Structures are given as structure tokens and as C-alpha cells.
Structure 1
């Protein structure tokens, strides 16, 4: 399998000829700014000097109409003949956000360091932050671009630039993303099965209507009192986490401060209930109820589970960022995501700024997101077209992810194995790595310091694609 041919990309972008010589110098880079493209335009093309470990590259900024902002980075020297595309986190809206930091998640850096031509996009709109969803209000075209079209348009524009700059097409294409970027990775495998030879999907938020609307509304309602106040406040995560670890750490036969599979943990926190005066060293009945509901996950009035599982045991050290806040105005991102998603992105008819998560009806509202589920969701376990094209996919997820449920990823993998005719058949194309104790996308470090910097799915994916060696680990240095 290989990406869209240079001939097709060149035809769409002005009839460039394959095999055309490319002098990879500043003049050749600058010339890309004058390139005429179909369905879009190039805004700028400039050389960025090398800064270790990144090589010098030609930075191209372009727009695919109506509003997908794209950045392409083309190595000035030593291009390896391959292409690497990065996903985008949250509701995105910020071009190249991941590359402004030192991490590799949703960043072009891992590809550029290895000589790949790289690209990313803002997923089709400008946002004030990755939790800003106002751009989607009554705007199905923008929702479509965010959902799936920005993936293929970024690929299309990038390959036109590759053709013009190097005089040929890429011989291999890789996609990498985590969270929403992981959803994009699954979308690429489903909707564009021949576009990428290799895919890395981390903590994939593959079912946005189920996850961000239904599940997150449940989490927020569970922690909201009748007067609108927050029940479980910051400060008791350590108390809860210590009790959970004491009961569940050794279930896997190892006393290592990690819970290998939180599905096996049924910690009883009743001994923590306050007797007499409330304090920081005990839990009120209302706080215990919040935790019980978080562990359960969303159900309707008939008791039917609407989304697999809930907040996993072992994720307590990370609750401040996603669920409770830190008491200083930081964190509690679940609330921001569900509120803005429900107002502007989730429903077939957007309710607007007056909507709150308290308005979510678990009997009715899961059925009112038909259009958005078609745009956003990428949880179809049948990826036979991708597998038949020879694609290889590494999926990884932290077992202590408190925002994107790891249980959904495991359920998807089991269903994909059944659709493929068994796990052995699926393993020919898909490798799953579930990492004990790891936060969402490895953003916050676990107790032993492991975070995203300690992971490297790129090296084993390259070995799988180029040497046929199936991956056995995604830990850096292994």
C-alpha cells in the first residue's frame, strides 16, 4: 500500500510532472508560495534553520477551502522519501499547537527528526483554545472538516508540496495522533484505508458522541449537587488513590504501585466514610456516591449501560486535571469539554450558549446526535479495507486514563478481532498496548515518572513496515 500517487496530487494542484528535478534550496522553498492549488491557496513558504535535533526545513502554510489551515514541513536535506502526518488534540483550532511544546504527541517532530516530510492542520477552523467549540455553532461544514475531511485535505496538500519541492511522491505514509488525534487515526483507517501505510493511535477518543456528550455529562452530573455546587472537591484524590492501591495493587501478583487491569479492581471505600465530623481524612456519603457513579459510567433510567465502564481505578492522581480541578482554577477539563461540545457540536440542532451538562437527558439525548456521530465517530471495528491494503496500526492507551475511557479501546479491539476472524488474524495488522498507571496520552507522569517521553511507538512501527517485525513494546529504548 502507498499514499495517493503523486500523479493524482499533481493533477489536482496544477499538473506538476513526476520526476521533475528539485533543487532543495531557499529559492525552491520560496517558489512554493506562488504555487497554484485547486480548492485552496498557499499563504507562505520560508526556510526554518536547523535547531538540534530538528533539521532545517521549508515551512509551508496553506489553506484548503473553506478553512482548513495546514502546515507542511519539508526537510531541506536528507529527505527519506516518506511522509508523516500528525493529528490534532481536543477541538483543536490551533495550528501546530503540539509542536510548540517539547512532547511528541500530535506533533510533527518525531517524523521531521527522522527525515520525513511532515504535515498537520488545525482541523478546519480557528479556535481560542482546544476546548473552544463556538466555531461549530450551526456550522455542519466546519463539523465535517473537523470530523474527517481535514485528514484527507492535509494529505492532499502535503503531497502537492512534496511533489513540487522534491520532484516526486512519497513512498510511504504514516499517521500519528492521540486523544482526538487518536480518533483521527481511527478515522483514517476507516474512511481512507489506502492513504496511510502505518497508523499510531493513542488513547483514541473514537466515539465522541458517546464519550464527550453522554459519558462526560454523566461525570459532571454525578459531581454536581442540587444547588449546582461541586461535591467532590480537590484534595481527596490521594486519600482515595491510596485506599484503591492498597486493595488492588497486588491483584496482578506484583506489588509495584500499578494496577495492571482496573477492570479487576472493585475497591471498597466504605471504611473511608466520615464518622461524626467531616474532614480531609474521610469521605462524606455524597462524595462516596460520586465515586460510585464515576466507576459505574452512564446508564439510562432502565439501567442500560450507555458507554463502557467509567473512571478507572488507579487514575486518582490525575483527577485534578480532568475531573476535580486543583483548587487554583486549573484542570477540570471534562467540564469544559462536555459543556462546549453540548452547546455547539453534539446535537442535530445546536442548543447554544444556554445549555449545560445538567440538561443532558440519558433517555433521550443519546438519540439526538445522528448527524454528528456520522461526522465524528470512528469506532467501527471492521477495518478490513485497511487490513487488506496491508496497513499496520499500533494502538496504545493508559489504563489510568480518567477522561478517555480505556475500556472502550479494549472493547473495540475485541470487536475488531471478531470482525477479522480472530485475534491472530487481527494481530497481522493491529497491535494493542495497554499501559498500567499511565495518564491520558501520558500528559502527567505516573509515580515512577513514566509519561509520553518514555514511549516510542514510531520505532516499532517502522520496523513492522520496513522489516516485517511485529511490535512487542512501545517503551522507549526497547
Structure 2
């Protein structure tokens, strides 16, 4: 049950929440915290030997076939208009097998990029979606990055998580492929990658990092809960650590949109771009000034959720829908998507989604209207559900729009003799708020999440952070969450979405410099990392903002340019 209450004054919500976190921390189960170690900085080293001999030198790696080793010249890759230094690209596969269940061939495909001038660090890159592709091992974070791990001199690993993309979601019919995708591929790859690095440089990495966004962020959460001894820093963007629940919730949303769509074949006609822009404007009208500045950004996320309601703050159409209002039927259909998906009996499926100015952004449409029927249907049907669907008869759109949400929830929690772990076991991190093993060895966790993310709710990350604070009196000493107002899924939206979270994490892990903010900028015209078309016309092309550690809020200091981070400070 959700109780309505009077909207707090600007700043009050942050103070209340900060006090709540302090109270939770004070009664945490882990009050007798040890003093964590301060990890030493990584030491640079040069590549040992030549790249063209690496294939032969790596012949002894257990359960691994090296398929190629190739010199990549400086400038072949670029980031933010800057050349990526020369490196050796090694490709291979691990644990090749033929499935006894579906008859398909499987292996864990990977590539490692090894800088000739190495900074002594390893970056394990978690990839997005349902994996299945070995994307370039660069280690990016933040929208339109100006740098990334490879550019900074890390040895970087990328993998397909144990299955080929040509199979699509039907790889989930194979039980082992499910487990590899969920968490086991990363566990198997880690010692191999460190051994490979040892061959390349004559020693292993001094410091190891695991990073990724979306499903990659989910991989990060599994890494710090399942193998905390292996990594020193964890960088999770938009972490889908409850991905099976989020997928079911997205199907729930599709069914709600279908109920008010004027064209049953096009879910976006249930909530058009013009109507989403109207809701975004209403959110800004109610919430923009809560942080002290009317600037097109809702920094005080908590206060906004208390202040804004779809029913009262968005005009109700008195006649035909024309984009300037929502019909009563639309409000009835759409409100439960934000208040949190439920089963037919009212049991919660997934968390709430916050209202934010980014709801009008173009990228939202894919996640709201296409992904549920094109992606989530296959994921729930073949990868997460027990038993999986029959690919010979499966029709994703029809199946998802007709599915019983309660039955989908049952399926993602089910197991069998063939599928021995449910999706909620193999996909999600065990005990994600109990992090003494991470803390005690001096490791750090940095999470960022767009408030307008339409597939993985920022409120899920906020709840996780509160849970960490409840469990550990010293939570802020090793784990911090940074919300990105206006940003959609991993990047984009009317937001300052360009930032170097990896650099901040390295400074924290290796030099004890806890991040009190991340400096972020918009990607307007001329941005070297790529232009974000969602940057509002009234903003400076390089508008900057501090991203603040939750629950702090970037509040206007009362003077100075609204386009400059220096005019804002992180406060309760």
C-alpha cells in the first residue's frame, strides 16, 4: 500500500532520507566494522615480447583455445576524438561443448586488448542485453565517453558470456548456457584473463576492475557478491540486478499500453510522443524548482515523487486525445506502470519507476513499446522461464500481450531436474547488501543510474543503497550511488550524461579519494564524444552539473550560471 502525504519543502526530502540512512546505519547488523585496507596504486609495465607470438605462448591455457593475436596500431580506435594507444588484440574461446539438451555448439568466446604501454590494471567488461556477442573490449562508461579503460591503459576483457548471438534467446533452452550467461562465464573467465595478462606482461595485474551498464551492471553485482576476492573496484551503470523481474514488469507495461492503444499493432499509440512530452512538462512544472533552480532538470528526485501525481498534475482530456492531455482511461492504464507492476492478485512484481523530465525523450519509446514484445518476451520465454517455451510455435508479441503476469512470476522462480537454478537464482546477486568481503579487502563499488531509465528503475538502485546502509555502518566508505537526472538507459535524455566514473573509481580504490561528486556535462553541438540529440535547445552545449552521492542533491547555490557545475553543490 502506498500512503499519500504532503509534499516536502525543497530540501526537506533529502534531509529526511539522509537521517533515515544514518538511523539505518546506526542499527546495522555490521556495526563492528573493521578498518578496510588501503590498496596500493597499480604499477605500469611494458608488453613482454611481441603480439604475433602470443598465440603460441598462450597454448597452455587450460580449457582455452586462442584463435588469433593481432597488433592494433595507435589510432585504429578512437574515443572522444583521441587515438587509442597501440595494443595487442587476442581472441579465443573457452570450454567448447555440444549441448545434450538442444544439440547446439557452445563456448565462451572472448577477446582481450592488451596495451603495449600497460598501466598495471585489468578491466573485465560486462556487456549488455542477452550477451551473445564479443563486442570490442574498450571498457566505456558514461554517455559519449571522452575516455575509457583501454584508452587509459587497462588490459580489457570482453566476452559473449557463453553463447552465440545467432541463437537469440533460445540459447536458454540449454541449462548450462543459462548458468554461464547468469554468472558462471565471468567466474570462469577471470582466472584465465589474469593468467593471460601474466603471460603478456610477465606478471599479473596489480588492480582489477569489473564494469558495465545494463546487463553489464548486473554482471558487476554478481561479481562483487560471488567473487569479491577477485576484483578491487566495481563500476555498475543502470544495474539490472533484478533483470527477470524487470522483464516481467515490462511485459506488464506493454499490456497496459495495449489496453489504450488506438492502433493495436503499435503500442506507442497508447502513450504518444506528444503525450509523453506533456507529462514531462508537467513533471518539470511541479518539480523543477525543488532543487532551487528552474533549469530543466529535476535534481531532487525524492521530493518530486512526493509532489507529483499523474492524476492531478496532467490535464485530463475532456474530448479527443490531442497530445496536450491524457484520457481518464490512459491515466488508469499508465499509473500502475510507475507505481509498480503487480500480478492479477495484486502481488508486487518489481519496484516503482520515478517520474522524471526524461520521460519525453526519444529513447524511452524503444524500452516502453518495442522491448516488451521483441526482447523481454524471448528472455522470459526461453532464458528465465521454467519450462522454456517451444521455439517452433513461439510468437513473442502475441505471447507477451496475452501472458498471465502471475504465471510469468512463477516461471522465473521455478526450477526443475533439468533447470536446477531458477532465473532468480542464476541471474541475480546473492545477498547484494551483505558486502563485508568487499569492504574488508579495501575494494569499492560505484554505481550510476539514470533517473529516467525506463527498463531498470533507479528506485531499485536506491533501495539497494539503503539496504547496504542498513547492513553496514560504514557503507559510504566503500559503496556509493550517483543518480543522473534526466538520463535514460545508460545514456541519453535531457541530461548531463558524459562523465568519467572509472577515473573516479580508480582514485577511490588506489588513492583513498572518495568521490564527493562526479563532474558531468551535456553533449551538445560539437561534443567530441558524440552529440546527444536530446539536449534541450535552451541549454549551453557544454552544460555541466555535479552528480551527487545518493541521497544528496545538486542544489543551486543562489548565484552563478545555470549551465555551470560550480553554481551547484551536493547537499541533503
TM-score, length-normalised on structure 2? 0.71
Task: Determine which of 377, 381, 384 is the counterpart of 1:343.
Answer: 381
Structure 2 SS opposite 1:120: strand
- 1:9 is aligned to none
**TM-aligned CA distance change 1:103 to 1:203, over 3 Å:** closer
What residue is the counterpart of 1:318 in the other structure? 361
Number of residue equivalences:
441
Counterpart selection for 2:70 from 23, 35, 46: 46
Tell me, in whole angstroms, the C-alpha distance in 1 between the residues paired with 2:48 and 2:321. 73
Q: CA deviation at 1:135?
A: 1.9
User: Which residue pairs with 2:207 in the alignment?
Assistant: 172
CA distance in 2, matches of 1:310, 1:242: 17
> Structure 1 residues 220 and 206 mapped into 2: Cα distance closer, same or farther (>3 Å)?
same
CA distance in 2: counterparts of 1:31 and 1:475, whole angstroms: 44
Aligned position for 2:220:
185
**Equivalent position SS for 1:24:** coil
TM-superposed CA distance for 1:103, in Å, is 6.8
- 8 Å contact 1:84–1:108 — kept in the other structure? no
Structure 2 unaligned spans of 5+: 1-36, 40-45, 76-81, 97-106, 414-421, 522-545, 547-572
SS of the residue corresponding to residue 198 of structure 2 reads helix
Residue 249 (str. 1) matches residue 249 (str. 2): no
Give the TM-score of the pair, scaled to structure 1.
0.84
CA deviation vs aligned residue, 1:350-406 (integer Å, no higher than 9, x gap) = 123246223433334323223111110126321222222221110111112111101
- Aligned counterparts of 1:95 and 1:324: Cα–Cα separation in 2: 23
SS at match of 2:212: strand
The verdict on how the C-alpha distance between 1:279 and 1:324 changes in structure 2, with shifts beyond 3 A counting, is: farther
* Worse-superposed segment, 194-203 or 118-127: 118-127
TM-superposed deviation, 1:301 = 3.6
Give matches, 1:346-425, under 5 Å: 346-352=384-390, 353-354=394-395, 356-370=399-413, 371-378=422-429, 380-420=432-472, 422=473, 425=474
3-state SS of the aligned residue for 1:418?
helix
- Which stretch of the first structure deviates more once superposed, 105-114 or 403-412? 105-114
Whether 1:303 and 2:352 are equivalent positions in the alignment is no
Correspondence for 1:259:
298
Report how far residue 141 of structure 1 moved.
0.6
Aligned match for 1:220, one of 254, 261, 280:
254
After superposing the two structures, state which structure 1 stretch, 157-166 or 141-150, moved more.
157-166
> In the alignment, is the contact (CA less than 8 A) between 1:298 and 1:305 conserved in 2?
yes
Q: Is the 8 A contact 2:486 2:493 kept in 1?
A: no
Q: Is 267-276 or 144-153 further displaced after alignment? A: 267-276
Q: Which runs of 5+ in 1 are unaligned?
A: 4-20, 326-330
Is contact 1:105–1:178 with CA below 8 Å preserved after alignment?
no
Q: CA deviation at 1:2?
A: 12
Aligned-residue offset at 1:193: 0.6
Aligned: 1:471 with 2:515: yes
Do the aligned partners of residues 223 and 311 (structure 1) sit closer, same or farther apart at CA in structure 2, a change above 3 Å counting? farther
Secondary structure of the residue aligned to 1:427 is helix
Deviation at 1:253, TM superposition (A): 3.3
Residues 185 and 103 (structure 1), Cα distance of their counterparts in 2 relative to 1, 3 Å cut: closer
Is 1:98–1:106's contact at 8 Å kept on the other side of the alignment?
no
Distance 1:206 1:243 in 2: 31
Aligned to 1:175, the other structure's residue is in SS state: strand
Q: Find the aligned partners of 2:207 and 2:346 in 1 and give their Cα distance.
A: 48
3-state secondary structure, aligned to 2:148:
helix
Give the Cα separation in 1 of the matches to 2:145 and 2:69: 20
SS of residue paired to 2:352: coil
**In the alignment, which residue of structure 2 is the partner of 1:16?**
none
**Alignment pair present for 1:117 and 2:155:** yes
Structure 1 residues 104 and 118, CA gap change in structure 2 (3 angstroms): farther
Do structure 1's residue 24 and structure 2's residue 60 form an aligned pair? no
Per-residue deviation, residues 338-359 of structure 1 (Å, max 9, x unmatched): 2111221121201232462234
Shift of 1:22: 6.6
1:87 is aligned to 2:126 = yes
Checking the alignment, whether the CA contact within 8 Å between 1:218 and 1:297 is kept in structure 2 is: no
Question: Contact between 1:318 and 1:402, CA under 8 Å: does it hold in 2?
Answer: no
Aligned 8 A contact 1:321 1:333 in 2: no
Q: Which residue of 2 aligns with 1:240?
A: 279
Distance 1:192 1:108 in 2: 30
RMSD in angstroms over aligned alpha carbons? 2.9
1:469 and 1:381 mapped to 2: Cα distance?
23
The answer to which structure, 1 or 2, has the higher relative contact order (CA under 8 A, 6+ apart) is: 2
In the alignment, which residue of structure 1 is the partner of 2:112? 72
Cα distance in 2, alignment partners of residues 156 and 255 from structure 1 = 51
Shift, 1:30, TM fit? 5.0
Summarize deviations over 1:405-439 as a string: whole Å, max 9, x none: 0111111111111122x3xx111111111122221
1:135 maps onto 2:178 in alignment:
no
Aligned residue among 426, 430, 436 for 2:479: 430
Name the CA distance, whole Å, in 2 between partners of 1:121 and 1:465.
Answer: 25
- Cα–Cα, structure 1 residues 165 and 377, in superposed 2: closer, same or farther, change >3 Å? same
